[in-house]
A = this chain, B = another copy of it.
Amino acid sequence: MVPLGGIPELAEGDDLARELHEAALRAGGLADGDIVVVAQKAVSKVEGRVVRLAEVEPSERARELAGPDGDPRHLEVILRESAEVVRSRPPLVISQTRHGFVCASAGVDASNAPEEGSLVLLPLDPDASARRLRARLTELGGVEVGVIISDSFGRAWRQGTTDVALGVAGLAPLRDLRGTLDAAGHELRTTQIAVADEIAGAAELVLGKADHVPAARVRGVDARGDGRGVDLVMPRERDLFR
C-alpha cells in the first residue's frame, strides 16, 4: 500500500487519470492486478460536481432541517442529493442518496472544497467514473488495474468514519464464501466479505486528507472479478434498518 501523492489541486476537466498515472510512476509504477483507490472528492472536482452556496435558494424543509445551527442552503443541497431522509437531528441529516448509499449529508461536503462557500457533491455515477478512470489508466500505462472510488462514511452504532467503496471497476467488490468450508470442515455461515470496502479503508490509512494525497496504490490483494460499487448497497427488501 503506497500513497500516490504530489497531485496538484484539481479543477473541472482535469485529466485525473493522467495525474494518477504520473503519481504512480513516481511511486514505482502500476502493475497488472494493482488496485488504485481514489478519494471521491478528487473525482467529483474534475467532474465539476461542485455547488456554490451563494446560488442556492433554500426550501422550507431545508430551513427546518438546518435548525438554529445549520446553513439552510447547505441543507438544501443535501436534500437535492437525497432520495430519502433516513434520520435527522438538526443540522445533522443521514439520508439515502439517489445511488442508494446511506450516509451523512448525502455525501455533500464542505471540507477540501475548491473555494470558500462551495460544496462538493458525490459523482453522479461513481461506477461509471471508476470505469472511465480504469480505461484511461490502461490507455496510459498498458496495465490492467482495478479502481475504487472511496469516501469516508460514518456507521450506525460505531464511532468514527471508515472509508468505503462508492464506485468500483475491474474487481469484485464482494468475496463470496457461501459453500466454502472452514478449517474444521463446516460450511461457513458468513456469506460475503465486502473486500472493496476493506481495501478502501486500508487505503485511507495512507491517504492524506490534508496534503494532496488523494489516492493510493494497493498491491497483492486478490480481488479478481467484476462488479459494481452499488452492489455493496443492501437491497431494501433485505435491509433491517430502513
| Chain B residues whose C-beta falls within 8 Å of the C-beta of A209 in the assembled complex | 177, 180, 182, 188, 190
Query: Considering only CB atoms and an 8 Å cut-off, how many residues of chain A contact the other chain?
Result: 67
B241 and A184 contact, CB distance less than 8 A:
no
With both chains docked as a complex, state the minimum distance between the C-beta of A104 and any C-beta of chain B, in angstroms: 9
User: In the complex, are the beta carbons of B239 and A184 less than 8 A apart?
Assistant: no
Q: Quick check: is A149 within 8 A (CB to CB) of the other chain?
A: no
Smallest CB separation, A75 vs chain B (Å): 14
A240 touches B181 (CB 8 A): no
Residues of the B chain whose Cβ atoms lie less than 8 Å from the Cβ of A162: 162, 193-194, 197-198, 201
Chain B residues whose C-beta falls within 8 Å of the C-beta of A152 in the assembled complex = 190, 193
List B contacts of A157 (CB < 8 A): 96, 101-102, 156, 233-234, 239, 241-242
A19: chain B residues within 8 A (beta carbon): none
A172 → B minimal CB distance (Å): 11
Best-buried of A9, A101, A197 by chain B (most CB within 10 Å): A197
Interface residues of A in 134-171 (CB under 8 A from B): 152, 155-164
Give a binary string over A195-212; 1 marks a CB under 8 Å from any B CB, 0 the rest. Answer: 101110110110001111
Cα separation A231 to B160 with both chains bound (whole Å): 10
Q: How far is the CA of A116 from the CA of B174 in the complex (A)?
A: 28
* Cβ contact of A160, chosen from B188, B202, B232, cutoff 8 A: B232
Contact partner of A194 among B9, B112, B161, B177, CB < 8 A? Answer: B161
Query: Which 10 A-B residue pairs are closest in the complex by CB-CB distance?
Result: A160-B194, A202-B202, A198-B201, A102-B157, A156-B241, A156-B156, A160-B192, A87-B240, A112-B182, A201-B201
